[in-house]
Amino acid sequence: MTAHVSPIQTMSFRARSLLAFVLEPTLPVSEWLGALDAWLARSPAFFASKPVILELAGLDIGFEEYRDLVSDLARRQIRVMAVENPSPTLVGPGLPPVVTGGRAVNILPAPEGETTPVAEPKKLDKTTTLIIDANVRSGQSILHPEGDVTIVGRVASGAEIVAGGSVHVYGALQGRVIAGVSGLPGARIFCREARAELLCIGGAYVSAEDMDPKIDGRSLEARLVGERLEIRILN
């Protein structure tokens, strides 16, 4: 007599780390949203299709105001993946889940008049360099939090480079570059032809509207000096 043995069913599980952008709303929420709109005016698609976490520690708001905040962010193409440190009244079905852990890195500056604690920069245990031998087209986003990014080509308007270390662009830089997101204080941005929409390192940033016209089309280096982004023309 032969017994029939069913095949063993298995499930595959994976662990994946990713870089999430953390927003810290402050009171009054309407003014904070106004500051956010000013940022988005410079870089409209900055948060689109990116994981976003809300840091709610110290934000004393009611359930209805919190739900309105999440809806207001969604209308700005910012979809909240999760929240940190919410009050118990802001947790429940239909609301973003709670996450804990993770190492904070200050990328976006706090609204004017507010101060944001900045995590002590930590040296990465292992860094790598991502080299792209091609142009980065409009709408593309290159994310490499483990180290430097080198682009041998052009970064088009509407494209975005986010690196844990420094960014090197051997071509025209017309899009957005955010360097040092992994807490490296010495991260820099280099480009051969500067026409950038946004340059940002460690929370300090400068947009196209704020850049000195003398920089346009020049080769440059951007670095963080204290809390200020310093731009130096190389030739």
User: Do residues 132 and 116 touch, judged by C-beta distance below 8 A?
Assistant: no
Q: What is the CATH number of domain 128-233?
A: 2.160.20.70
What does the alpha-carbon distance between residue 52 and residue 78 come to, in Å, rounded to a whole number?
Answer: 7
CATH H-level, domain 21-90: superfamily: ACT domain (3.30.70.260)
The mean pLDDT value for 148-176 works out to 94
**pLDDT at residue 19 tops 60:** yes
In the chain, domain spans:
21-90, 128-233
The mean pLDDT value for 136-147 works out to 88
User: Do residues 53 and 20 touch, judged by C-beta distance below 8 A?
Assistant: yes
171-220 pLDDT, tens digit each: 999 999 999 988 777 899 999 999 999 898 877 888 888 888 888 999 99
pLDDT of residue 109: 39
Give CA angle at 213 (212, 219), nearest 5°: 85
Who has greater pLDDT, 159 or 183? 159
Banded model confidence at residue 134, pLDDT cuts 50, 70, 90 = very high
Residue the block writes with tokens 């994976």:
14
Which two three-digit tokens encode residue 7?
């095949």
List alpha helices for 43-88, DSSP H.
Answer: 63-75
SS3 188: strand
Helix, strand, coil tally for the chain in percent (to 5): 15, 30, 55
pLDDT of residue 6: 63
The whole-model pTM stands at: 0.60
Banded model confidence at residue 124, pLDDT cuts 50, 70, 90 = very low
Please provide the average confidence, as pLDDT, over all residues in the chain: 81
* Interhelix angle 63-75/29-42, nearest 10 degrees: 10
pLDDT of residue 38: 83
22-76 pLDDT, tens digit each: 888 999 999 999 988 887 876 676 777 778 889 998 788 999 999 999 999 999 9
Which two three-digit tokens encode residue 64?
């209805």
The radius of gyration of the chain from alpha carbons, rounded to an integer in Å, stands at 21
Whether the link from the prior residue into 145 is cis, omega within 30° of 0, is no
Q: Hey, do 21-90 and 128-233 end up sharing a CATH topology, with the first three levels equal?
A: no
* Of residues 209, 199, 208, the one with CA closest to residue 230: 199
